[in-house]
Chain A
Amino acid sequence: GQQVMQIPQYQHVQEGEDFTTYCNSSTTLSNIQWYKQRPGGHPVFLIQLVKSGEVKKQKRLTFQFGEAKKNSSLHITATQTTDVGTYFCAVLVADSGGSNYKLTFGKGTLLTVNP
């Protein structure tokens, strides 16, 4: 089945430094979603990207979808302690019958921020 590779698995930064996590696929994606899970919490939807080369921003977070729709990145500018958590990408894939679709998650990047 379709797999998404997410890197890095862990990232520790000093507060104020930038952070980027990447998701890569060997096949063309129809779309990609990003979720954030705070420590002790549950994953929460952040954003969806659909178009080739799409860039979306949410305050200090910048999401990009590659031109070939095979990769995506989440970049955080000037990290804060509130950014701590695990960031997951997720892609929509067809099930074995090919008529229905479900989400498949990457393994996530755990971000820790040193104040």
Chain B
Amino acid sequence: DADVTQTPRNRITKTGKRIMLECSQTKGHDRMYWYRQDPGLGLRLIYYSFDVKDINKGEISDGYSVSRQAQAKFSLSLESAIPNQTALYFCATSDLQIGDPRGTDTQYFGPGTRLTVL
């Protein structure tokens, strides 16, 4: 979806390096997410943010940190990359409003960043 962009699209790095993956969206959504995808494991949630002042850990947050610089920007950092962080990373946004249980939380994904840690 062109409304959600991720940079870089591909990255090869070495063990111990600090890496930042960036996500920008023009959909005007408050909610943003970072997922990791590995073969056979589906989409696993790393961190999510319901608005600029809200950051929450997902199921696999160890070794990762995030920053929500603005409504439109949500970056994911690997402070010291390790080989088992090699994966496909997706950013997503959704239109669910905070505290509104009636929404659908339909998610709009970016194109993904393929990260390889050697």
Contact = CB atoms under 8 A, between A and B. Distances in A.
Number of contact residues on A: which range applies?
A: 20 to 34
Interface string B103-118: 1111111111000000
B1 interface: yes
B41 A45 contact: no
30 contacts: A6-B42, A9-B40, A31-B104, A33-B104, A42-B90, A42-B109, A42-B110, A43-B43, A44-B1, A45-B106, A45-B107, A48-B104, A88-B42, A90-B107, A95-B56, A100-B98, A100-B99, A101-B96, A101-B103, A102-B48, A102-B96, A103-B94, A103-B105, A104-B45, A105-B43, A106-B42, A107-B40, A107-B42, A108-B42, A108-B43
Interface of B: 1, 31, 33, 40-43, 45, 48, 50, 56, 90, 94, 96, 98-99, 101, 103-112
